[in-house]
Amino acid sequence: MSSNNSSLLLKNIRLIDAGQNRDEKNLDILLRDGKVAEIASDISFAADQVIDLNGAWVMPGAIDLHVHLREPGFEYKETILSGARAAVAGGFTSIACMANTRPVNDSAAVTRFILEQARSAPAKVLPIAAISKGMDGEELVEMGDLSAAGAVAFSDDGKTVVNSKLLRHALEYASLFNKPLLCHCQDNALFADGVIHEGLISAAHGLPGIPTLAEDIDIARSIMLAEYLKVPIHICHLSTAEGVRLVRSAKARGVKVTAEATPHHLFLDERAVVDLACGEVLDDSLKPDQLRYNTVTKMSPPLRSTMDVRALREALADGTIDAIATDHAPHEATEKAVEYELAPFGVIGLETAVALGLRLIKEKVLTPLELTARLSLAPAEILGLADRGSLAVGMAADLMIINPELEWTVDPEKFHSKACNTPFAGWRMQGRVVKTIVDGKVVFNL
């Protein structure tokens, strides 16, 4: 996105920015020509536009490492434009989009198409290219060509690279081009036909389970390869306590590993799969015909146990988990309105993630500064976005403005996304993004 060649002065803000280690009230911030120009207690510059924010929170724009925009090929689910509109409505100013489109983003031509389609989008769209051609795990893509075309990272997303030799070469080449490899860690044989976490609910109600081992084995393999090669690796949507232990241990050894967690894995566990019509407390003695299974809780990896959720929260707090990413995966309503086993994996998250992050502050899992680190600073560092993730002078004027007291109810019918498949419908929230600014231009107003 280009500079808007104008100036905007935001007065009376609370600046919260991990990149500067600043959490300060009663400040002004001046945005000029798409950049942060000045931060001070009383700026008198005659800006083109002045907004008094009356103490609202100003944070760097959130950066999502893991989004499915569905275009090209699945525009009935989401488009680049609708996904970007959802992003800015949720406070995200940059979104990295996965390669599982049709055709797969495995060529410079597809990468250029995505960037061209994104020219009119309100958020900055960052293409992630496939690791292997067609995402079939057999032949590496031309990483040099894709990097030159604008790919910011490489991932085969849900199609795990089974061939360890191919994954080794992918790590080596990605490192040469200074691009991260984002790994969806999953042993396909153990994953098999599973639809939910192998545990309490799968055993009680006869749904095929996905063991934590299916994720943990592949996390271990990925970390071992990165450690052997001395190159970076990023673990997508970490969901298990053992995965947390593996990442924490690797970091302690100096392995260049980073990890993300999703809001749904931080707030929901396997019990959310069971939706009780009369709202009783979950009782394992209830018969299957007394239950219905809510397909908006079907995602990969699945919602795990309460123990796993606790481990994820502890890891997010201590920095073992570097980033919060949504894994925004839109589907048409009719695709989810089927039996649980037949429904596609995936939920949306762009318009609820920041509000859930604010809830983590309220629950004392994170401080406001730590939230900006997980939503903005760390994702920018992982993707090598030197001009984003912080609001220091000279950085891109990408930011979100939050009213921390505003109460609202999640209503997917009011989403900007084309999809409604959120597990958080009906949740009461406190704190909401009220404005989003990209390159110094207001692109979203509540």
Q: What does the pLDDT look like over 305-331, one tens digit per residue? A: 999 999 999 999 999 999 999 999 999
What pairs with residue 257 in β-bridges? 233
69 found inside a domain:
yes
The Cβ of residue 188 has, within 10 Å, a number of other Cβ atoms equal to 13
C-alpha distances in Å from residue 17, one per residue of 31, 59, 176, 351, 392: 16, 6, 31, 21, 8
Q: How far is Cα 126 from Cα 64, in angstroms, rounded to an integer? A: 10
What pairs with residue 27 in β-bridges? 13
Q: How far is Cα 170 from Cα 137, in angstroms, rounded to an integer? A: 11
The per-residue pLDDT for 277 is 30
Query: Could you tell me whether strands 182-183 and 124-129 are parallel, antiparallel, or unpaired per DSSP bridges?
Result: unpaired
Q: What does the pLDDT look like over 356-409, one tens digit per residue? A: 999 999 999 999 999 999 999 999 999 999 999 999 999 999 999 999 999 999
The per-residue pLDDT for 208 is 96
CATH value at residue 248: 3.20.20.140
Containing 441, the helix (H) or strand (E) segment is strand 441-445
The per-residue pLDDT for 281 is 38
pLDDT-based confidence at residue 292 (cuts at 50, 70, 90): low
CB 47 within 8 A of CB 83: no
67 found inside a domain:
yes
Max Cα distance, the chain (Å): 69
Q: Say yes or no to pLDDT of 2 above 60.
A: no
Q: Say yes or no to pLDDT of 1 above 90.
A: no
The per-residue pLDDT for 200 is 86
Structural domain that includes position 258: 61-389
Q: How far is Cα 182 from Cα 382, in angstroms, rounded to an integer? A: 10
pLDDT-based confidence at residue 5 (cuts at 50, 70, 90): low
- Say how many domains are in the chain: 1
8 found inside a domain:
no
56 found inside a domain:
no
- Computed over every residue of the chain, the mean pLDDT equals 95
Q: What does the pLDDT look like over 239-268, one tens digit per residue? A: 999 999 999 999 999 999 999 999 999 999
DSSP state of 215: H
Q: How far is Cα 153 from Cα 147, in angstroms, rounded to an integer? A: 8
Residues labelled catalytic = 327
188 residue type, one letter: N
Helices 212-229, 241-252: inter-axial angle, 10-degree rounding: 10
pLDDT-based confidence at residue 275 (cuts at 50, 70, 90): low
Q: What does the pLDDT look like over 135-160, one tens digit per residue? A: 999 999 999 999 999 999 999 998 99
* % of the chain with per-residue pLDDT over 90: 92
The per-residue pLDDT for 288 is 47
Average pLDDT over residues 113-136: 99
217 found inside a domain:
yes
Q: Say yes or no to pLDDT of 236 above 60.
A: yes
Q: What's the whole-model pTM score? A: 0.95
125 found inside a domain:
yes
Question: Higher-confidence residue: 34 or 277?
Answer: 34
CB 100 within 8 A of CB 184: no
DSSP state of 7: E
398 found inside a domain:
no
Counting every residue, how long is the chain?
Answer: 446
Average pLDDT over residues 344-351: 98
121 found inside a domain:
yes
Q: What does the pLDDT look like over 34-67, one tens digit per residue? A: 999 999 999 999 999 999 999 999 999 999 999 9
Task: Measure the CA dihedral 148/154/158/159, to 10°.
Answer: 80
The per-residue pLDDT for 140 is 98
